[in-house]
Amino acid sequence: MRVIGLAGWSGAGKTTLLTRLLPWLTAQGLRVSTLKHAHHRFDVDQPGKDSHAHREAGAHQVLVASANRWALMTELRGAPEPGLAELLSHLSPVDLVIVEGFKRDTHPKLEVFRAANGKPWLHPEDAAIRAVAADAPPPGGLPLAGLDEIPAIGALVLEHAAPWPS
């Protein structure tokens, strides 16, 4: 399994880029998974559903399965937030995992930059950023693809994704 992250400020277009990049990568015959870090409280479950009642009653994990998909929810119940390595260990083997968030971790990353955000570049302070998808040339001469150049971004992702120890 190989891993690469997308790093960038909120509003840079990471999620939009990822939703455009995934079809291109899968068309290349790759099995791709994503791992998204949420900075805020989130819930994938709905009040009134049996699985929600199980969690609310104190279950540590709830696995919901159907003919179309399955999902495993784990309640931390005060335990520390798991790190990237632990979360990656829970994924099924695939060719590539794209991580959105975890920008302080040291896995290789592609910076997504939009000049209109008015935010500074991340890569001068993050040596793990190997390439850039942007609407402006980056300082420092990192490999660059335009935000709409999906095949070029895909090539950068594949070039810079690194094997992850299983």
pLDDT in tens, 3-49: 999 999 999 999 999 999 999 999 999 999 999 988 767 777 788 88
Domains delineated in the chain: 2-42+80-163 (3.40.50.300)
Question: pTM of the entire structure?
Answer: 0.91
In whole angstroms, give the CA distance from residue 71 to residue 73. Answer: 6
Count other Cβ atoms within 10 Å, centred on residue 127: 9
Quote the tokens at residue 165: 């120890």
Compute and round to an integer the Cα radius of gyration of the chain.
18
Per-residue buried b or exposed e for 133-153, using 16+ beta carbons within 10 Å of the residue's own CB: bbeeebeeebebbebeebeeb
